[in-house]
């Protein structure tokens, strides 16, 4: 039986006492949100029973547009590194909710949320912090790598973290270099030399 809105008259509440099911119909871009909230209040106080909602008037292409937009974002974020995906989740307050949810989807898909992987990312963050501190103190790259390995990082992780820290510090250092000297920092030169030596040694070992 069709009735008027519950906020207008009490007919619905009277009829609901003998009704098996109550269907609450809402129209997109028309029904006031306060009416929905009122219906939830009626349900919470047991004045309406067996309530279901019908949401009509939704444009036929709106879901497809939304889905396509999400799919585009998903495809874009598939190029993110595992570290970037996890950083997005851990720093969710700095990102749009849609980006965070997409990052969570990718993390679950890649198995990044397992306790083992989470521990790995926490360790990597610790190594990165150590490397940056050593760079600020002017420690040589080879000594930084050795220090990271002493903390438990294997050689591959130590080199990756060292490179990431160097890139971060180099970006920050360029601002100071332009103001002070306009030339490359000592750290930049040392890091480049370190990478070149490693490449030469690997080529020689092969």
Question: In this predicted model, what pLDDT tens digit does every residue of 108-127 receive, in sequence order?
Answer: 888 877 777 777 777 888 88
Same domain, 98 and 156: no
> Is residue 72 domain-shared with residue 31, that is, in the same domain?
no
Domain around 192: 115-205
Same-domain check for residues 128 and 170: yes
For the segment 186-197, what is each residue's pLDDT rounded down to a tens digit?
Answer: 666 777 777 777
> Lowest mean pLDDT: which of 15-19, 126-130, 146-150?
15-19
For residues 46 and 67, membership in a common domain is answered with no
Does any domain span residue 150?
A: yes
* Three-state secondary structure string covering the chain: CCCCCCCCCCHHHHHHCCCCCEEEEEECCCCCHHHHHHHHHHHHCCCCCCEEEEEECCCCCHHHHHHHHHHHHHHHHCCCCHHHHHHHHHCHHHCCHHHHHHHHHHHHHHCCCCHHHHHHHHHHHHHHHHHHHHHHCCCCHHHHHHHHHHCCCCHHHHHHHHHHHHHHHHHHHHHHHHHHCCCCCHHHHHHHHHHHHHHHHHHHHC
Assigned domain for 50 exists: yes
Same domain, 106 and 120: no
Q: Per-residue pLDDT averaged across 100-106, rounded?
A: 86
Task: Please check whether residue 1 lies inside any domain of the structure.
Answer: no
Query: Quick check: 80 and 88 in contact, CB under 8 A?
Result: yes
Average pLDDT score over residue span 76-83:
86
Same domain? For 81 and 33 the reply is: no
This prediction's pTM:
0.38
Q: Are residues 95 and 37 in the same domain?
A: no
Is residue 4 in some structural domain?
no
Per DSSP, the three-state class of 26 is strand
Q: What is the count of structural domains for the chain?
A: 3
104 domain-assigned: yes
Verify that 104 and 123 share a domain, yes or no.
no
Shared domain for 50 and 68, answered yes or no, is no
CA dihedral sign, ordered 163, 167, 169, 173? positive
């Amino acid at each position: 039986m069709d009735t008027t809105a519950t906020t207008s008259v009490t007919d619905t509440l009277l009829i609901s006492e003998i009704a098996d099911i109550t269907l609450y119909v809402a129209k997109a871009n028309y029904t006031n949100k306060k009416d929905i909230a009122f219906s939830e209040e009626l349900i919470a106080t047991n004045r309406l029973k067996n309530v279901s909602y019908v949401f009509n008037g939704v444009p036929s292409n709106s879901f497809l547009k939304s889905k396509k937009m999400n799919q585009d974002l998903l495809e874009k974020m598939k190029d993110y590194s595992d570290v970037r995906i996890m950083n997005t989740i851990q720093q969710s307050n700095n990102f749009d909710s849609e980006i965070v949810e997409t990052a969570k989807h990718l993390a679950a898909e890649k198995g990044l949320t397992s306790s083992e992987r989470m521990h790995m990312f926490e360790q990597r963050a610790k190594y990165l912090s150590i490397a940056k501190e050593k760079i600020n103190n002017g420690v040589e790259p080879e000594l930084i790598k050795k220090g990271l390995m002493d903390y438990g990082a294997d050689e591959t992780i130590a080199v990756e973290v060292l490179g990431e820290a160097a890139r971060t510090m180099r970006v920050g250092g360029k601002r100071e270099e332009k103001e002070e000297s306009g030339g490359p920092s000592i750290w930049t030169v040392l890091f480049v030399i370190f990478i070149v030596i490693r490449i030469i040694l690997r080529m020689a070992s092969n």
